[in-house]
A = this chain, B = another copy of it.
Amino acid sequence: MINPLELRKFVAPEVISGKGSLELVGQYANMFGGAHIFLVTDRNIQKCDWFRKILLSFEQNGIRVSLFDDVSENPRDFQIMEGASEYRDNSCDIIVAVGGGSVIDAAKGIGIVATNHGHINSFEGVDQIENPIPPLICIPTTCGSSADVSQFSIINNTGEQRKIAIISKALVPDISLVDPVPLLTLNKEVLVSVSLDTLTHGIEAFVSTASSILTDRHAVGAIELIAQNLIPALSDVSNLELLTNLMYASLEAGLAFSNASLGLVHAMAHVLGGFKDFPHGVCNGLLLKSICEYNYDSCPDKFDRITSVLATARGVKAQPGLDSLNRELGAIIEKTGITGNLSQFHLTKSECRKLAGFSLQDVCNATNPKMPTLEDIVELYERTFYR
């Protein structure tokens, strides 16, 4: 149970949500004093119809644009350094990120290096950013990472083949324009991956040792919206109302985990994603059940609440207890169609041990409801890989 007397923080960007919000980007860029935008995006996004509305909005507001689209999934440290150098060379004064988590995380990384200099990998950890980053406007195009509301940026340290987490209030964007229309572009596979990321954010924030009354509202809200809308959306991927609800799930999950932080699922998924470049949401989805089982006895009331929300959404009543939790998580994860184990990673047992060592150092571990040992993590990786 939360002790309401404990010190907690809550920071959120300004959010404009709903259909049409992305068309306001030029107006808001002006409001934040931007005359020359550094536009971070990726190549696929530029082919979408709605992307033209963003460019039109800049044009109508008399704003110059320098485009940077050299961003991959799981963005690399060298891409960030290149982006920061282009930002400075072009004398830009504001950053607009249009994309999923990779693009937005890259934009945050570019912002950090643009005003703080130094190498991006040197900012790993909590509160390592001294100078404010340039004004940052985000237009998320998936309903997963919640990077558009969070204090997090996850970058691939390519030298060490692992993802690093940079966490700071300085990374909360100035404004997020959360428009459901870009979600119409997602294929089913991506929708599954990003939505499992959101589900994991909601669950890990809710059981985090840094959760609060405010973050709990949004964590439970996110879990409920995913439980009610994900499976219907997978068989009706152009239903804008279902997609909008998934977008709100991501927004709420972001408000929750940005302030309550995450846990062991993310610590282990970050390492996996950095090592094998696998989609982050799928890593989370595959690890989620085993780690909830591992964490269950540290806060059974909260896990029972999660069970109840998941069960209610599919119209059944659930008893408290670990078996019910396993059944409900299994029910939603299996319906998304992702496979039940991680054998596709072809990891050796000695690699598992190496990854476990990195996971133990990940900042997300600090707020996991149970403090894992190296052996616990090795065992969890092995159980997920070889069962």
User: Interface of A with B (CB < 8 Å)?
Assistant: 4-12, 14-21, 169, 180, 212-214, 217-218, 221, 225, 240-241, 244-245, 248, 251-252, 255
Contact = CB atoms under 8 A, between A and B. Distances in A.
A6 B241 CA distance: 10
B10 A212 contact: no
Given A4-B244, A4-B245, A245-B4, A214 B15 contact: yes
Contacts of A255: 214
Contacts of A11: 14-15
30 contacts: A4-B244, A5-B18, A5-B19, A5-B180, A5-B240, A5-B241, A5-B244, A6-B19, A7-B17, A7-B21, A8-B16, A8-B17, A8-B18, A9-B14, A9-B15, A9-B16, A9-B17, A10-B15, A10-B17, A11-B15, A15-B214, A17-B212, A213-B225, A213-B252, A214-B218, A214-B248, A214-B251, A214-B252, A217-B217, A217-B252
Given A4-B248, A5-B244, 17 more contacts: A4-B18, A4-B245, A5-B18, A5-B19, A5-B180, A5-B240, A5-B241, A6-B18, A6-B19, A7-B18, A8-B17, A9-B17, A15-B214, A17-B214, A213-B221, A213-B252, A214-B252
Contact of A221 (B17, B217, B240, B248): B217
A140 to B, nearest CB: 15
A17 B240 CA distance: 37
Contacts of A16: 7-9
Contacts of A15: 9-11, 214
Nearest to A24: B7
Contacts of A10: 12, 14-15, 17
A142 B316 CA distance: 42
Contacts of A241: 4-5
Nearest to A9: B16
Contacts of A18: 4-8
Nearest to A5: B19
A6 B21 CA distance: 9
A2 to B, nearest CB: 10
A118 B314 CA distance: 58
Most buried by B among A4, A11, A18, A225: A4
A15 B245 CA distance: 26
Contacts of A214: 15, 17, 218, 248, 251-252, 255
A32 to B, nearest CB: 12
Most buried by B among A19, A169, A214: A214
A9 to B, nearest CB: 5
A21 B12 CA distance: 18
Nearest to A225: B213
A161 to B, nearest CB: 36
A12 B11 CA distance: 8
A8 B334 CA distance: 34
Contacts of A244: 4-5
Contacts of A169: 14
A10 B20 CA distance: 16
Nearest to A213: B248
Nearest to A15: B10
A195 to B, nearest CB: 16
Contacts of A217: 217-218, 221, 252
A7 B8 CA distance: 30
Most buried by B among A8, A169, A241: A8
